[in-house]
Structure 1
Amino acid sequence: MGLFSSNYSRPGPGVSKDTPKDNRFVHYWKIYGRHFWDLMKLNLLFAIPAVLLLVAAFIISLATGNVLLAGLPLIALSPFMAGLTYETRNFIREEHVFVLHDFGSKLKENWKQFLANGIITYIVYEILLIAIPFYSQNQEKLGPVISIIALALSMAVLFIFTAMQFYIPLEIVTFDMKLSQMYKNAGIFAISALGWNLIGFLISAFLVFLLWFCVYLGAYVPLFLFIIVLLAIFLLWSFWSYTINSLIYPTVNRLMIQPTLKKESEERGEPLPEEDPAFTDWDSMHEDDSEDNEDEDED
């Protein structure tokens, strides 16, 4: 039995090796521009539950003053990541998407694993939310060496776990395997693709800061609240998902998808289909006229 579930579509024949290839940055913007309106529709679908649950979290925060309780509604947002991730992945692979239908079908198909991942994510981030301020504010009590080491480890866990969350949604909508195995793979990717993960981490941090900054200024200039509402409804979520998946997909493709397709093709005695350029890590690709006629690319 193959590794991939029924929600994985085998890539098409691709393009000729002689076709000029855009660099990764240009390729990213070409696809984004081509699917801009679909990405806006997708963002609107995700924004409906996202805004409602964020408002619920804000109300709980005001009512209780408890950050731990305020984060609980966001667990319910996790299953909706299925539709968002699946469709942005397909845009990257330049596969057709039915925005409304695919969003609902992938939500129904994958909600259990996404919800489980959401619970785990909530627990880990809440622990880090307690640990990082504790170690930074109790240096005299714990001792400078212990507190600095503990703080550094906590920050490392924050980065690695956040990087893992880039990969896990993509793995869920692409592969048929246990969540524990997905976590193992994501942990490997979080370290092996450190450069791309750092870029994704910085982009995510910038978007969070942008949200906070607009909300902060909105208290003085209502226009900024209007801006953040427009971003949340039409742009923010799909842009983030598309950007993160664009950064990480070549790694997943090179280390998981292509080896599995090769194995399955060999078992059936069929040649491996030529890679679509949308799957290729352009910055590190090199041509290799091997016996298998495959392009092997390295990060």
Structure 2
Amino acid sequence: MPLFNMHYDRPGPGVDPDTPRKKGAARFVELLGRDMTSFWLAGLLTLLSSVPFVFGIWFSIVSHAVLPALLAGVVGGAIAAPQLCGLQDTILRSLRDEPGYWWTTYRRAWKRNAKAALLPGALGGLILAMQIFTLYHMSGQGAGMLVALLVGVVFLTGLAQYIFAQVALLELPFGGMLKNAVLLFLGYLPRTALGIVWQLAYWLIVALFWPFSSVLLVITGCWLPTLLGLMAIYPVLDKSFQVEETVKKMRDEQYKDQ
């Protein structure tokens, strides 16, 4: 379990553990003021690693060939997934107010989670690639097809936010993570929906105002939608997996051994 591989003896920025935790917009501002540079760097790595996926989808659309979309989904998704998990790990550490230097913790988390991220990245990338390809080639298919496609996007977004968070937090086989994701999706629908809305709204704005939104993408992608989504579902993750309780016990045990 990745939570049990962290080192708390490294100095780094953090907060007083006795400080009451803010909520809502105040919490968002607090996180940005403390860790925005870490968010941006991790988000930039995620954005750069998604270039093969984006290029493959673009080529598939302009050439009207499905094979590049399949390759882009599998290969591009697998390439981007470890960086996405690194971004998730960075934000999750910030949400639990964990001290540490970003590059030290990011590099350790990347090495630990890269292999586990490949399968969900490839599978999720394949599904997303087919959804995008279908969306651009569905003229005359009717409203029913569009609704089915949108429902698929919603479910993929909701499940993905739980799956990649589990990759960053736990050591489980993909089947176990998928089962947990489905249960969390359905068991905590209000928070699941809030996370989905934040993410889809962001990417819809980027798509509608492209290429002008490219500046926004460089500044806020992919960390902003990920941060907002994780803020929505973090209470669910903490309640289900006892994240902060486990971290506190580990920290106390390490202090006793020193």
Alignment of 1:62-77 (within 5 A): 62=62, 64-66=63-65, 69-70=68-69, 71-72=72-73, 73-75=75-77, 76-77=79-80
* TM superposition shift of 1:157: 4.7
SS at match of 1:15: coil
Give the distance between the partners of 2:109 and 2:179, measured in 1 at CA.
Answer: 23
- Residues 55, 256 of structure 1: alpha-carbon distance in 2 compared, 3 angstrom cutoff: same
Report Cα offsets for 1:116-166 as digits up to 9, x if no partner: 0012213434565688887x9268xxxxxxxx6x98676545433321111
Report the equivalent of 2:235.
Answer: 250
Which residue of structure 2 aligns with residue 55 of structure 1? Answer: 55
Shift of the 155–9 alpha-carbon distance from structure 1 to 2, 3 Å rule, reads farther
* TM-score, length of structure 1 as denominator length: 0.66
2:117 and 2:243 mapped to 1: Cα distance?
24
1:48-105 alpha-carbon deviations (Å, 9 max, x no partner) = 323454235424543x323562343531211211211111111111213433343333
Residue of structure 2 aligned with 1:164, choices 144, 159, 166: 159
Question: CA distance change for structure 1 residues 55 and 35 in 2, over 3 Å: closer, same or farther?
Answer: same
Aligned equivalent of 1:186: 181
Answer yes or no: is 1:137 the counterpart of 2:141: yes
Work out the CA distance in 2 between the residues paired with 1:78 and 1:129: 18
1:1-25 Cα distance to aligned partner (Å, 9 max, x none): xx66534579x99427xx5x53333
1:93 is the counterpart of 2:100: no
Amino acid at match of 2:230: N
Please say if residues 87 and 223 of structure 2, whose CA atoms lie closer than 8 Å, have aligned partners that are also in contact. Answer: yes
Aligned letter for 1:137? Q
What is the TM-score normalised by the length of structure 2? 0.75
The residue type equivalent to 2:183 in the other structure is I
- Contact kept? 1:39, 1:238, Cα under 8 Å: yes
Q: Is the contact made by 1:8 and 1:174 (CA closer than 8 Å) also made in structure 2?
A: no
1:217-244 CA-to-partner distances (Å, cap 9, x unmatched) read: x4xxxxx2xx51x333332111122211
Q: Using the alignment, how far apart are the partners of 2:170 and 2:16 within structure 1?
A: 21
Q: Specify the code of the residue in structure 2 equivalent to 1:65.
A: H
Post-superposition Cα deviations, 1:229-272, rounded to whole Å, max 9, x if no partner, equal x333332111122211111111010122269849x97xxxx99x
Evaluate the alpha carbon distance shift between residue 82 and residue 26 of structure 1 in structure 2; reply closer, same or farther with a 3 A threshold. Answer: same
* Equivalence map 1:1-20=2 (5 Å): 5-7=3-5, 14-15=17-18, 19=20
- In the alignment, the residues of structure 2 paired with residue 33 and residue 259 of structure 1 have an alpha-carbon distance, to the nearest angstrom, of 22
Letter in 2 for 1:231: L
Q: What residue in structure 2 maps to residue 176 of structure 1?
A: 171
Distance 2:100 2:67 in 1: 37
Aligned residue among 104, 121, 126 for 1:118: 121
Cα gap change, 1:52 to 1:13, in 2 (>3 Å): same
Instruction: Read off the aligned partner of 2:65 and give its amino acid letter.
Output: N
Identify if the C-alpha distance between structure 1 residues 238 and 128 changes in structure 2 by more than 3 Å, giving closer, same or farther.
closer
Q: How does 1:6-45 map to 2 (within 5 A)?
A: 6-7=4-5, 14-15=17-18, 19=20, 22-45=22-45
Which residue is equivalent to 1:107?
A: 110
Task: Please tell me whether the aligned partners of residues 79 and 115 of structure 1 are also in contact (alpha carbons under 8 angstroms).
Answer: yes
Distance 2:66 2:177 in 1: 29
Question: Are the equivalent residues in 1 in contact too, given 2:199–2:228 (CA < 8 A)?
Answer: no
Q: 1:82 aligns with which of 85, 100, 112?
A: 85
Structure 1 outlier segments of 4+, above 6 Å: 130-134, 150-154
Q: Give the Cα–Cα distance (whole angstroms) in 1 for the partners of residues 6 and 181 of structure 2.
A: 18
Name which structure has the greater RCO, CA cutoff 8 Å, separation 6+.
1
Which is worse superposed, 248-257 or 70-79?
70-79
For the residue of structure 2 that corresponds to 1:94, the secondary structure is coil
Change (3 A) 1:4 1:260: farther
Gapped runs of 5+ residues in structure 1? 140-147, 219-223, 272-299
Q: What is the aligned residue count?
A: 240
Further displaced range: 85-94 or 199-208: 199-208
Give ranges in structure 2 of 5+ residues lacking alignment. 9-14, 254-258
* Partner SS for 2:209: helix
